[in-house]
Amino acid sequence: MRRGERPLLALPRPLLVAFVLLLGCQLIYHHYGLRGFDASYRGLTRPFSAAAYRGIAMGSEQLMGYLLALRLQLHDNQAGRHFRYRLIDYDILVDWLDRITEVSDGTEYPMLLASRIYSSTSDRDQLRRMLVFIERRFDDAPQLHWRRLAEASLLAKHRLDDLELALRLAEKLARQPASVRMPQWARDFHFLLLADLNELESAIAIIDAMLQSGSVNDPDEKRFLQEKLSAFRQKLFESRQTTPG
Amino acid sequence: MLAQTISLFRYLMLGIMSRRLLLLMAILSLVAVLCASFIGELAIINGEAIVVAFVADFLRYSSALLALLMIATGVAEDYQSRQFERLLTMPLARWQYIAAQTLAIACLCLLLVVPALILIALYGDAGLGFYWAASLWLELFLISLLGLLAILSLEKIPQAVFFSLAVYLLAKLSGLIVLMLDESVRLSEGSATSRVVEFIFSAVLYVIPGSNTFARNDVFFENVDLLAALSSQLFSVTLYALFLLAVCLIDFYRKEFNL
């Protein structure tokens, strides 16, 4: 059985007034709170100097570098929303990546962010900036960063359609001394891209040099190179046949 | 004489243990693990090293604060309950109180490094866990001695903890402060005031612990000769700890107690 209720007007007046006042306050607060909630994108601020971050790290520079990298990685997620990379100022982003590299010496994280995360932008200029960053920072530690340079070369070829840049990056990779250990396929990019550019003679010369230098010991790799050599020679022969003079 | 010191040490340790030390350590370890796991989930590469390094640093700073509070509270209670007056009526030398406190600090630090040792060994490498435990013990021992000196001199917990933390942070942030002072001299075009401040700070650096007295967090990311790092830290901590003990003894012997 439902318990009977007294009419609202029978309640003490101060209680009713307080209820109306508090309800009003809550509505006003919520209204202004919503207006104050800024869901628009807030850009990156410029980083401090590497020396300042090293000082703040209190002896834990490597950890500081990684925490800064994670903070940067999360920058495109703001107020529960994911913002497009196009909105990010890539000049400042490159400053951040440089700073993290300087703070956390020998880290792979900034290069990884550049090649895997920030390269997924749809803006070609921004992508180019990332590839230039990878090319510049590769020399700091070729052994650590050869994968990133190989990825950058592929991005330049397939995403930017810039074979010149792709070739430059692949050549840099191929010219690394034998002391920089990397799989042979990473060095092979160079002649494959040369063939794509129709520089068949150069590609053939490189494969010839590789086979004759004895630096390739893997039988599968040797077979692959010989197949490519035959294919490129055939292609060159055919192109000479079709080209008059 | 040794038996008296040991009895006093036991009494001090009982006081420390009665302040829910183990519960606090368990809570801190849990918070460290939860925060580190969250950070580790975010990392694309090197997640394990980041987790271990974060746990190590989190436990380092929280243990340092905990040790300072424990030591300061213990000695402040002795002042408040007129324990010193009672002790000095017994056949007990003042240096024995300092010796007992030093032993209590050593044991407290040993207890505080156990969670770090277990967690680092679990998440990472046992060798690194032992290095960090030994290195952190040295760091905590030094900070606790600094806390002992501060509470013996200042007699009040807030002032003593604030002073000890200030010295600790000054030592840790000395690189940043030097950088700021250099910049200040440069921006003021070498003004006399900036140069005086820079000179004073460089003089202060001589009497605060150097950077090699602290545990090195970079060992979780780089190949470091752990034994060499520990030996260098042991030497500098021993030197500074003896200096602090000497100052503690001088200060404690100079104090007047109404017997």
Tell me, yes or no, whether B240 lies in a domain.
Answer: yes
pLDDT by residue (tens digit) across B119-164?
999 988 899 999 999 999 999 999 999 999 999 999 899 999 999 9
**Chain center to CA of B146:** 7
Distance CA B52, CA B4 (A): 42
By the 10 Å C-beta count (0-12 exposed, 13-18 middle, 19+ buried), B9 is classed as: buried
Residue A1 in this model has a pLDDT that exceeds 60 = no
Tell me, yes or no, whether B259 lies in a domain.
Answer: no
Q: How confident is the model at residue B16 (pLDDT cuts 50, 70, 90)?
A: confident
Are the Cβ atoms of B173 and A59 closer than 8 angstroms?
Answer: no
Are the Cβ atoms of B44 and A73 closer than 8 angstroms?
Answer: yes
Tell me, yes or no, whether B124 lies in a domain.
Answer: yes
Residue B80 sits at φ, ψ, to 5 deg, of -65, -40
pTM reported for the whole predicted model: 0.81
**Percent of chain A residues topping a pLDDT of 70:** 95
Q: Does B259 touch chain A (CB under 8 A)?
A: no
- The residue-averaged pLDDT of B59-66 equals 94
- The residue-averaged pLDDT of B63-81 equals 91
Distance CA A224, CA A219 (A): 9
Which amino acid belongs to residue B104?
Answer: A
| The pLDDT of residue A19 | 92
B216: closest CA of chain A, how far (Å): 7
Q: How confident is the model at residue B64 (pLDDT cuts 50, 70, 90)?
A: very high
pLDDT by residue (tens digit) across B103-112?
999 999 999 9
pLDDT by residue (tens digit) across A182-233?
887 788 878 888 877 777 777 787 777 777 777 777 778 778 878 877 888 8
Interface of B with A in 140-179 (CB under 8 A): 169, 172-173, 175-177, 179
Q: How confident is the model at residue A243 (pLDDT cuts 50, 70, 90)?
A: low
Best residue of B37, B41, B45, B174 to probe chain A, by most A CBs closer than 10 Å: B45
User: How many Cα atoms occupy the beta-carbon half-sphere of A231 within 13 Å?
Assistant: 13
Q: Which residue in chain A has the smallest CA separation from B52?
A: A63
Q: Which of B39, B42, B214 lies at the smallest CB-CB distance from A59?
A: B214
In terms of residue numbers, what domain contains B238? 2-254
Residue A3 in this model has a pLDDT that exceeds 80 = no
| The pLDDT of residue B162 | 94
Give yes or no for a contact between B211 and B232, defined as CB atoms under 8 angstroms apart.
no
What is the total count of domains within chain B? 1
Q: Does B232 touch chain A (CB under 8 A)?
A: no
Q: Could you tell me how many residues make up chain A?
A: 245
What is the complex's ipTM, to 2 decimals? Answer: 0.86
Which positions in chain B touch A108 (Cβ < 8 Å)? 45-46
Distance CA B17, CA B36 (A): 28
Interface of B with A in 176-195 (CB under 8 A): 176-177, 179
Q: How confident is the model at residue A2 (pLDDT cuts 50, 70, 90)?
A: low
Which neighbouring-strand residues pair with A81? A78
| The pLDDT of residue A219 | 79
Q: Which of B42, B179, B218 lies at the smallest CB-CB distance from A70?
A: B42
Distance CA A235, CA A233 (A): 5
Q: Does B220 touch chain A (CB under 8 A)?
A: yes
Give yes or no for a contact between A136 and A172, defined as CB atoms under 8 angstroms apart.
no
Best residue of A58, A64, A73 to probe chain B, by most B CBs closer than 10 Å: A58
Residue B30 in this model has a pLDDT that exceeds 90 = yes
Which positions in chain B touch A64 (Cβ < 8 Å)? none
Q: Which range has the worst mean pLDDT, A61-75, A119-133, B1-15?
A: B1-15
Interface of B with A in 15-74 (CB under 8 A): 39, 42-46, 50, 53-54, 57
B221: closest CA of chain A, how far (Å): 7
